[in-house]
């Protein structure tokens, strides 16, 4: 068939690419009067995207679209059947049709490989070119959006009571629709996307790899900022702001360093309608932005130490699969950049900052981490050594880098001439400053969500949650009279205001249009740490019922003890989250001394502590060897990287005892220490 | 001369452009052994840049450069004299030379017009092209940088006392060099640049129009953030973060709006070495970034009001002359975006926010402002009306827009379909939300500096200053013994720590290498609000001496009253700054009812309250007519805009009484209110 052939020319020849995105093309037929010609709807979507017909109806304004039968394919596309249909048939169309493109697909880079109908491979950019003639009928659709429902049919309530006591059925339907519909243990990426969007932490954005931080996640970031900022200021660090733009000349000054970032740098080349004289980069990190000025400002050893930090956003145009919080093209972070006269001072600070990073994870986010040093292969390009906190995602058994604190030694100071006269005297050689840089990003929020949240929605640790407690009046029935209802509401509002006065981030939900049950689900979805129920019986007995989000554990708290007990309950909640996560990490961090145990342990979702020789080639060998599917065990089905090899995560500061003469887990060299390996993000 | 002609071809023909930058080209000859060939140094700089020879010596590593005599021009460039020399002679050079380009010049846009040696006009981009062959010998130099001095000759002090009591002469020399050398009243732009850089608030950056916010200015921003953030959160506003990138499709959705910003939008077209499929804009403001999602999130009137704010940076690639804080290509700000069900709620908020903006200026920065409404001509493109706080810069007599709070009406909500079902019932038309947007930027810092600072350096109002007080031990002489010295230091440290405990941002300077006098100048330069002196006599009498920065007024404060008196003194200081600035504004805001008084009043550095008809053409006429130099009075010599016309600043809420039948100041229509006009930033 000639049509098929033309299309095939666009497609890739040779071996199929290893990490292509499966794409489906579906055709829907809307309900149409028998006398009218139907307008078919062609949907091009990632295999993993569900494309509900009510949503298709909404975005096309066509009625009741159903998957088309073979007949339509014949008359309309001159194609034998739905099964045979591919996008190659589009030019055959006998009349108008609509073309919906999945926003997940639209967001992919042009260079992404797509797999169409199992057999054809094509670059996304080529597909877009191919679809250009159909531009006018084309529409990009976010299939994850909720179907806009009609407003709940709120019959103008003649009797106010009945309106308040019997929430409309549609509200209950809402509750089902807005809940999480994917199981964390079965479809982890799908679950992650749902808890984030339905919990209203984040939304997808129409520029690929960029996401919207909605108030609940931004508030978490603000709480982290407050905690960390106070501590670094205590060390004498001052905040500053450097421009987001870097000239190419400056960016490229430190060659090793820029090599690591160059492929991901975004370039501004135009302003208004004028081309810039030379392209200007958006900072991927600020070493080269800042250090020329450090060199200018530091004129004498009395100008040291210089300790600056900035809270900003940086851009790394990664071409790997983006993931909210974990891998995004723009992200918020802090970057500290310090310069010292002596190596000792600098190294002391590197570790102090690492302790604070561990504190952010463990004391705020209730996520256990392991502190250690990166191997030479994994360290920051251009630095002397990198220290890191490493976390663990139980569901996938993968390690995740939490935050890093780098000792740069004198590499950058020599490059940027950041030097001072030797305090020992003019005849001694000039001293180049010893530098550190350290950064913690909004990635921490993604790790927190992955570790704690569940099939009911988000679980947010109380110390960072935007709100810590929601007060909900309960026990209002048809028999409750106005006065009683008022009394319950007033009592609940009193509880709310007492909690706020005590410094607890509390709010109340007194909306009579929803049942308490509906509210419970809502705030479970959003991860509010505790809910405080107050009904007639509670009031009678002078207490409230407190239910914590993670395990629905109930507490009865006497009204007079509110201000004392609620903070305690929040702390217990924090500890419970941390301990559960720690137990999972501890039991999935196993010592493996012999290679034959390595891959099987990995496949059981463990990270591994193994004796290691410290040689870079051996590290690469471990990665390659653990990536093969050559062992008998069934491999974990991880969507992105089914046979991902194990990387070194860190050399933990806290080391198991190394026996004398212990060999490396992989080669026959002597081990020099234990290294933590794992599949990772 | 052929050389001259070739060069002339590059230059512009036709009438000289109206706002070109005067450029000088100088040639220096370094000290050279008589037997050696000298290496001339060609300096290309803005006329206004001073190019000190010690700095030229430093950056070229050549010895003692002096302005070259005619002789050198003859032998080296085949040019008759220094007077005749232009850059056209460069290709004549008989051997190696150095070419230094002023960073102020390098920072200009390619499209800027330059005026060389009074007669030649050339585009900056053409000049750069012309200089390309000399690239290897070319160097961009920041002539405002301090000459790197040798470390103070600190002879290893055998007698510690003598070292501490007689600071080296070089420290005193430093004091002179680092002080402000330009008079605020004589060269306001030069003075502004010096107080900012020498006071260490800001530094120039190698991307044009971008500046570095150093800790003292960033701390001011943090203090403003804290104050304002707390207040808007009190109104139920929540913080969020939206991506900095916008697709062109979304950016261009609201045509009026984008038209206002399009010429200034920076476009990313490349990532790594790949071209993007379509260019992506960097937000100049976030209306079009955010409102598509508002439309998605707002499903019912119960989702209103929606009140989000972000603290971020935006980019407007202005081609006008950039100025630190006042007009920069990237700047920090907050942008609030709110949506309401009713117009009333929205309009109430617009004014509430404006009050907070006035509060930032008056209560924090001690800068008086006038609240009012912008005219139709000056309002935010796409909105219904704009409210504003307007400030005044006494030195130039110009008004300056402080911050704006816009009521967008339903324009954007209709464009982005931000609508909900009518609460009155399904049969009523859907209701489009009423929206506001409001923003306050780091411009406030520039206004504050211009208003308060003086020829000794910065004057920073105490409520926003990074540090509020510096403690300095005084009265240590050669006769002071170690024990006495220790006692003074200990007492001073005790004062510092008591102040800190009382919540005052204090620090001490106990460095013995500098005299108190040197320290006084230092902290005056940096604008620390008060210094607290403590010497043997003070200790004896149980008090400290407090000197405030603005007017050197001295207070004697009993030691036991420190915690009470210092906050009072800081408040008095704030009031003194505010009152002085207010008096200047009040006496330079004059009512002018007849046109003949208008321009003369402007020329006396006033802003004007004039009865006005409200017609846009009349407003334009006022601007044109006040720009002409057609009156007898001498015009203010304002570097950038010697004959700038008066714009409408705002229609003040607080109106003078308008007589019935009062005519417009400019035309013969009836006046509808008083409008404030002025030359402006």
Structure confidence by residue, pLDDT tens digits, B402-411: 999 999 999 9
pLDDT value of residue A92: 83
Cα distance from B419 to chain A (closest Cα, Å)?
A: 12
What are the DSSP calls for B262-313, one per residue? GGG-EEEEEETTEEEEEEEEEPSSSHHHHHHHHHHH--SGGG--EEEEEEEE
**CATH 3.90.960.10 in chain B, residue ranges:** 3-141
The answer to whether B394 and B451 are in contact (CB under 8 A) is: yes
| pLDDT value of position B160 | 35
Burial group, residue A638, by CB count within 10 angstroms (0-12, 13-18, 19+) = middle
Among A107-121, A516-530, B68-82, B283-297, which is the least confidently predicted range?
A107-121
Q: What is the pLDDT of residue A15?
A: 55
Tell me: pLDDT of B419 over 80.
yes
Given an 8 Å threshold on Cβ–Cβ distance, is A239 in contact with B262? no
Q: Residue B158: what pLDDT?
A: 37
Compute the nearest-CA separation of A301 from chain B (Å).
9
User: Which region among A47-51, A658-662, B174-178, B201-205 has the lowest average model confidence (pLDDT)?
Assistant: B174-178
Residue A281 pairs in a beta bridge with: A246, A267
Q: Under an 8 A CB cutoff, do A215 and B273 touch?
A: no
The most confident of B122-131, B182-191, B648-657, by mean pLDDT: B648-657
DSSP string spanning B426-464? Answer: TTSPPEEPEEEEEEEETHHHHHHHHHH-BTTB----TTT
Over range A585-596, report the average pLDDT: 97
Which of B110, B112, B123, B151 is the best residue to mutate to test the A interface, defined by the most A CB atoms within 10 Å of its own CB? B151
Out of A213, A249, A425, name the one closest to residue B241 (CB).
A213
How far off is chain B from A201, nearest CA to CA, in Å?
10
pLDDT for position A95 = 80
Say whether pLDDT at A641 is over 70: no
pLDDT band at B640; cut points 50, 70, 90: very low
Q: Which residues of chain B lie closer than 8 angstroms to A265, CB-CB?
A: 271-272
More confident residue, B63 or B268: B268
Rounded distance between C-alpha atoms, residue B32 and residue B75, angstroms:
16
Work out the average pLDDT over A347-352: 98
User: Strand runs (DSSP E) across A289-409, as ranges?
Assistant: 306-315, 330-340, 370-373, 385-393, 398-409
Dihedral, CA atoms, B129, B131, B137, B139, nearest 10 degrees? -80
User: Widest CA span of chain A, in angstroms?
Assistant: 99
CB contact (8 A) between residue B239 and residue A222: yes
- B607 to chain A nearest CA, in Å? 33
Q: Cα separation of A584 and A591, whole Å?
A: 15
Q: How confident is the model over A519-525, as a mean pLDDT?
A: 95
Q: How large is the angle between the packed helices A482-501 and A562-587, nearest 10 degrees?
A: 70
Residues 6+ apart with CB under 8 A from A601: A590, A592, A608
Average pLDDT over residues A301-330: 94
Provide the token pair at A146.
Answer: 């909720």
Could A207 and B243 be called an inter-chain contact, meaning their C-beta atoms sit closer than 8 Å? yes
Distance of CA A163 to the CA centre of its chain: 41
Q: Which of these ranges, A12-26, A199-213, B44-58, has the smallest mean pLDDT?
A: A12-26
pLDDT tens across B319-364, in order? 778 899 999 999 999 999 999 999 999 999 999 999 999 999 999 9
Residue A638 has pLDDT above 50, yes or no: no
In the predicted structure, residue A563 carries a pLDDT above the cut 90? yes
Does B71 score more than 50 pLDDT?
yes
Superfamily of segment(s) A3-141? YbaK/aminoacyl-tRNA synthetase-associated domain (3.90.960.10)
The listed CATH number (3.30.110.30, 3.30.200.20, 3.40.50.300, 3.40.50.261) that belongs to domain B592-678: 3.30.110.30
Contact A202, A448 (CB under 8 A): no
Q: Cα–Cα distance between B139 and B135 in angstroms, integer? A: 8
Predicted confidence at residue A108, as pLDDT, reads: 80
Report, as an integer, the average pLDDT of A259-263. 84
pLDDT for A326 beyond 90: yes
pLDDT of residue A237: 98
> Averaged over B92-111, what is the pLDDT?
83
What pLDDT does residue A425 have? 84
* Beta-carbon count within 10 A of B580 CB: 17
pLDDT at B175: 39
State the pLDDT at residue B59. Answer: 81
pLDDT at position B113: 84
pLDDT for A78: 84
User: pLDDT class for A9, splitting at 50, 70, 90?
Assistant: low
The mean pLDDT value for A591-610 works out to 96
**What's the rounded mean pLDDT across residues B92-98?**
84
pLDDT at A31: 84
pLDDT, tens digit, for every residue of B16-51? 566 788 888 899 998 887 767 788 899 999 888 888
Contact (Cβ atoms closer than 8 angstroms) between residue B329 and residue B315: yes
Best residue in B109, B154, B270 to probe A by mutation, most A CBs within 10 Å?
A: B270
Q: What is the pLDDT of residues A488-505, one digit of tens each?
A: 999 999 999 999 999 999
Confidence category of residue A18, pLDDT binned at 50, 70, 90: low
A151–B300 CB contact, under 8 Å: yes
pLDDT at residue B169, rounded to an integer: 35
Lowest mean pLDDT among B32-41, B147-156, B397-406, B467-476: B147-156
Output the pLDDT for position B4. 52
Spatial separation of the C-alpha atoms in residues A249 and A143, rounded to whole Å:
44
| Binary contact (A270, B274; C-beta < 8 A) | no
B272 and A282 within 8 Å at the Cβ level: the answer is no
pLDDT higher than threshold 90 for residue A576: yes
Residue A160 has pLDDT above 60, yes or no: no
Contact A24, A45 (CB under 8 A): yes
Q: What is the pLDDT of residue B76?
A: 85
Check A206 against B250: CB less than 8 A apart: yes
Residue A8 pLDDT greater than 70, yes or no: no
Residues of chain A with C-beta less than 8 angstroms from the C-beta of B238: 215, 218-219, 466
Cβ <8 Å between A125 and B277: yes
CATH 3.40.50.800 in chain B: give the residue spans.
Answer: 469-568
- Confidence at residue B656, expressed as pLDDT on a 0 to 100 scale: 96
User: A43: distance to nearest CA of chain B, Å?
Assistant: 21
pLDDT band per the 50, 70, 90 thresholds, residue A11: low
Lowest-pLDDT choice from B161-165, B281-285, B392-396 = B161-165
Residues of chain B found within 8 Å of residue A242, distances taken between Cβ atoms: 205, 212-213
Listed range (A557-561, A582-586, B259-263, B606-610) with the worst mean pLDDT: B259-263
What is the model's pLDDT at position A361? 98
Calculate what percentage of chain A has a pLDDT beyond 90. 64
- Average pLDDT score over residue span A100-110: 83
Per this entry, what is the length of chain B?
681
Q: Which residue shows structure tokens 């005790």? A: B494
Name the segment(s) of chain A with CATH classification 3.30.930.10. 222-243+284-452
Predicted confidence at residue A75, as pLDDT, reads 83
pLDDT over 90 at B548, yes or no = yes
**Contact flag B267-A265 (C-beta cutoff 8 Å):** no
Residues of A in contact with B417 (CB under 8 A): none
Confidence of residue A16 (pLDDT cuts 50, 70, 90): low
Q: Is B473 a residue whose pLDDT tops 90? A: yes
User: B583-623: per-residue pLDDT in tens?
Assistant: 999 999 999 999 999 999 999 999 999 999 999 999 999 99
Name the fold adopted by B222-243+284-452.
BirA Bifunctional Protein; domain 2 (3.30.930)
Q: For chain A, what is the mean pLDDT?
A: 88
Best-predicted range by mean pLDDT among A34-38, A120-124, A576-580? A576-580
Q: What is the mean pLDDT of chain B?
A: 88
- Cα–Cα distance for residue pair A184/A182, rounded to 1 Å: 6
CB A311 within 8 A of CB A317: no
Q: With 50 as the cut, is the pLDDT of residue B632 above it? A: no
Q: Does B268 contact A266 at a Cβ distance shorter than 8 Å? A: yes
Residues of chain A with CATH 3.30.110.30: 592-678
The size of the A-B interface in CB pairs under 8 A is 182
Which helix (H) or strand (E) segment is A161 a member of?
helix A160-165
- Whether residue A146 is predicted with pLDDT greater than 80 in this model: the reply is no
Q: Out of A96-100, A540-544, B350-354, B417-421, pick the least confident.
A: A96-100
- Name residues whose C-beta falls within 8 Å of residue A234's C-beta, 6 or more positions apart in sequence: none
Q: B241 vs A264: CB contact, 8 Å cut-off?
A: no
Range from A316-325, B214-223, B354-363 carrying the lowest mean pLDDT:
A316-325
Look at residue A283 and tell me whether its pLDDT is greater than 70: yes
| Residue B331: closest C-alpha in chain A | A243
Architecture per CATH, A469-568: 3-Layer(aba) Sandwich (3.40)
CA terminus-to-terminus distance, chain A: 44
Residue B361: closest CA among B330, B394, B388, B338? B388
- pLDDT reported for residue B3: 47
Q: Where are the beta strands (DSSP E) in B186-254?
A: 202-204, 211-213, 238-239, 245-247
């Amino acid at each position: 068939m000639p049509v098929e052939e033309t299309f095939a020319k666009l497609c890739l020849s040779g071996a199929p690419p290893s990490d292509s995105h499966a794409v489906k093309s579906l055709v829907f037929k809307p309900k149409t009067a028998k006398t009218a010609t139907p307008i078919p709807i062609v949907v091009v979507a990632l295999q993993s995207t569900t494309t509900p017909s009510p949503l298709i109806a909404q975005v096309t304004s066509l009625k009741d679209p159903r998957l088309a039968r073979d007949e339509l394919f014949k008359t309309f596309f001159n194609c034998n059947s739905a099964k045979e249909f591919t996008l190659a048939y589009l030019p055959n169309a006998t009349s108008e049709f609509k073309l919906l493109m999945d926003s997940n697909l639209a967001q992919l880079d042009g260079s992404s490989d797509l797999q169409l109908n199992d057999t054809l491979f094509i670059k996304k950019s080529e597909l877009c070119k191919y679809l250009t003639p159909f531009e006018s009928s084309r529409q990009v659709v976010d299939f994850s959006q909720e179907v806009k429902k009609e407003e709940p049919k709120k019959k103008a309530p003649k009797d106010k009571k009945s309106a308040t006591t019997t929430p409309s059925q549609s509200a209950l339907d809402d509750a089902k629709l807005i809940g999480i519909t994917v199981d964390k243990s079965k479809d982890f990426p799908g679950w992650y996307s749902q808890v984030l969007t339905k919990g209203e932490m984040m939304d997808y954005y129409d520029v690929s790899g960029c996401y919207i931080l909605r108030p609940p996640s931004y508030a978490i970031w603000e709480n982290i900022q407050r905690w960390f900022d106070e501590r670094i200021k205590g060390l004498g660090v001052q905040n500053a702001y450097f421009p987001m733009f870097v000239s190419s000349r400056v960016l490229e000054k430190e060659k090793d360093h820029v090599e690591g970032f160059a492929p991901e740098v975004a370039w501004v080349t135009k302003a208004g309608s004028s081309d810039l004289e030379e392209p200007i980069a958006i900072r991927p990190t600020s070493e080269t932005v800042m250090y020329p000025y450090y060199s200018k400002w530091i004129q004498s050893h009395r100008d040291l130490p210089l300790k600056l930090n900035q809270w900003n956003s940086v851009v790394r145009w990664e071409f790997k699969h983006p993931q909210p919080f974990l891998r995004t093209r723009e992200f918020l972070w802090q970057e500290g950049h310090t310069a010292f006269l002596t190596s000792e001072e600098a190294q002391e600070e590197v570790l102090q900052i690492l302790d604070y990073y561990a504190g952010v994870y463990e004391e705020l986010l209730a996520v256990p981490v392991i502190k250690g040093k990166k191997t030479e292969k994994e360290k920051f390009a251009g630095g002397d050594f990198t220290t890191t906190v490493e976390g663990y995602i139980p569901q996938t058994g993968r390690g995740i880098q939490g935050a890093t604190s780098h000792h740069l030694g004198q590499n950058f100071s020599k490059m940027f001439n950041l030097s001072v006269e030797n305090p020992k005297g003019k005849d001694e050689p000039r001293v180049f400053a010893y530098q550190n840089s350290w950064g913690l990003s909004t990635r921490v929020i993604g790790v927190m969500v992955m570790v704690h949240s569940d099939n009911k929605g988000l679980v947010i640790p109380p110390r960072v949650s935007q709100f810590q407690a929601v007060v909900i009046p309960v026990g209002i029935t048809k028999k409750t009279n106005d006065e009683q209802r008022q009394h319950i509401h007033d009592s609940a509002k009193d509880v709310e205001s007492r909690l706020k006065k005590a410094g607890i981030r509390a709010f109340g939900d007194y909306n009579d249009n929803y049942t308490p049950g509906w509210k419970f689900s809502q705030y479970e979805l959003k991860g509010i740490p505790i809910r405080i129920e107050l009904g007639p019986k509670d009031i009678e007995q002078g207490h409230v019922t407190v239910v914590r989000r993670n395990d629905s554990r109930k507490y009865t708290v006497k009204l007079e003890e509110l201000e004392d007990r609620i903070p305690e309950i929040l702390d217990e909640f924090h500890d419970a989250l941390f301990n559960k996560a720690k137990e999972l990490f501890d039991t999935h961090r196993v010592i493996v001394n012999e290679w034959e145990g390595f891959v099987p342990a990995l496949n059981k979702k463990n990270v591994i502590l193994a004796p290691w020789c410290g040689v870079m080639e051996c590290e690469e060998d471990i990665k390659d060897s653990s990536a093969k599917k050559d062992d008998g065990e069934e491999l974990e089905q991880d969507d992105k990287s089914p046979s991902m090899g194990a990387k070194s995560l860190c050399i933990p500061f806290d080391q198991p005892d190394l026996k004398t003469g212990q060999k490396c887990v992989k080669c026959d060299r002597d081990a020099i220490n234990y290294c933590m390996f794992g599949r990772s993000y």
